[in-house]
Amino acid sequence: MREWRRRVCTTQGTDRRLAFVGGPGSGDMTGLGLIIPTAGTPDYRHRYLYALESADFSEGEEGRLVGFKQLLTMGALVSEPLGTDPGPRTNVVQNGDFSTVYHWGCDPLQWTIGGGVATFHYNPAGGAPVLWQPCLTTDCTFSCTFTIVSQTAGNLQVLFGNTWVGTFTGPGTYTVSGVASNPALTFGGDATCDAVIDDVSAVCTLVPQTGTPPSILRECQVTSPIWNMPDGNVIWWLMICPLESPNDQQSIVLPYGQSIDPFPQMPSLLVDASGNPLNGGMPFGDPIDQYGMLTNVVFPYGHKYSGENLKIDLRVESALDVKLSTWGKIKALFK
């Protein structure tokens, strides 16, 4: 019985500039990705060429290329929502002890102020059953404290502007918080309510920030099959190649993430000693089946069936070892 071993080859390039900005799914802070130069290719006719990943096969070995998927992410400047700053926390309610009738608005058929308290008794002949004071600041967060001295029936309601923040039943001291939709601090009751309130105060706890929202660098996954770079594009190649390198200049030292060896030990940007794309920007070897060139591999990367889209049987017949290579080509126009 033939025994098959399943191997997953993964591109594991590192972009040092993204360290501590975005990391892999494992949660560490290594910035993944391959660096794209900030200028166009010195040879404007060709693309940048990257070696992404490879797997070695020996003579007589059989295997199946189950599938191919490539996570493609791009950096984007995303506007973050503005936050809030601490409020002044000073009492904005005037005459909260109801020592006079000033500063409060009400229908005297519904509410009466006197004796240091405000009393509500619903009257169907009256107008709006509310007691209000325009003391709040719109869009700010407030904390309001008040005391129900007595309540014989019904429910007492509190609103910050048009925003309901609570319904209360029974004597006691209460504190409610919420965002004011307009300046009115309002007390009201239902048709059965009889209540007496006192000692009303309100302080601003949070003030919304103003100005231009900050832009934060985020790494965003490309998932749309019709998405295009505004100034470039990406092509992937699946090639079968001789294991031996055709290049004898591997001793040349290049910047981090670049290689003159077409089969480097780690994913790299392939360039010659002058910085031009290696091999004129064309991948080495022969295309595998009809999948030599792929222009769209943004099938949902985390889907359970992603990466199972090829199922190509392979058998190595030659005396040379064979390298199955994945290449990425990027054409970009930088301004």
Q: Does position 305 have pLDDT exceeding 70, yes or no? A: no
pLDDT in tens, 93-114: 999 999 999 999 999 999 999 9
Residue 130 domain boundaries: 86-208
| 286 and 178 within one domain | no
**Which residue among 208, 237, 256 closes a domain?**
208
- pLDDT tier at 311, thresholds 50, 70, 90: low
> What is the pLDDT confidence band of residue 14, given thresholds at 50, 70 and 90?
low
Separation between Cα atoms, residue 185 and residue 114, nearest integer Å? 19
- Mean pLDDT of the 151-162 span: 91
pLDDT tens digit sequence for 319-335 = 343 454 555 544 443 32
pLDDT reported for residue 307: 59
pLDDT band at 278 (very low <50, low <70, confident <90, very high): confident
Verify that 154 and 198 share a domain, yes or no. yes
Number of domains in the chain: 2
**Residue 91 and residue 202 in one domain:** yes
Whether the predicted pLDDT of 141 surpasses 90: yes
Residues 55-68: tens digit of each pLDDT: 777 666 777 777 66
CATH at 126: 2.60.120.260
Q: What is the mean pLDDT of residues 74-102?
A: 88
The reported pTM is 0.48
Predicted local distance difference test score (pLDDT) of residue 277: 83
pLDDT at 324: 47
Same structural domain, 171 and 253: no
Query: Can you tell me whether residue 67 is helix, strand or coil?
Result: coil
Residue 160 sits in the same domain as residue 264: no
What's the pLDDT at 273? 79
Closest CA to 33 of 277, 271, 256, 325: 256
The verdict on residue 26 lying in a domain is: yes
Position 229, amino acid: M
pLDDT band for position 250 (50/70/90)?
A: low
Do 162 and 229 share a domain, yes or no?
Answer: no
Residues 156 and 116 placed together within one structural domain of the fold: yes
Q: Are 64 and 133 in a shared domain? A: no
pLDDT of residue 71: 67
Pair (225, 314) in one structural domain: yes
The pLDDT score that the predictor gives to residue 91 is 96
- Are residues 168 and 256 part of one domain? no
- Based on the domain organization, do 154 and 267 belong to the same domain? no
Nearest to residue 314, comparing CAs of 81, 16, 62? 62
CB 307 within 8 Å of CB 64? no
203 and 96 co-located in one domain: yes
Confidence of residue 199 (pLDDT cuts 50, 70, 90): very high
Side-chain half-sphere exposure of 183, counting CA atoms within 13 A: 8
Residue-wise pLDDT tens digits, 173-182: 999 999 999 9
Assigned domain for 2 exists: no
The position carrying tokens 């009889």 is 194
Mean pLDDT of 313-317: 61
User: Could you tell me which residues are beta bridge partners of residue 120?
Assistant: 111, 195
Structure confidence by residue, pLDDT tens digits, 211-224: 888 777 776 777 77
Backbone angles phi, psi at 144, to 5 degrees: -115, 130
Average pLDDT, the chain: 76
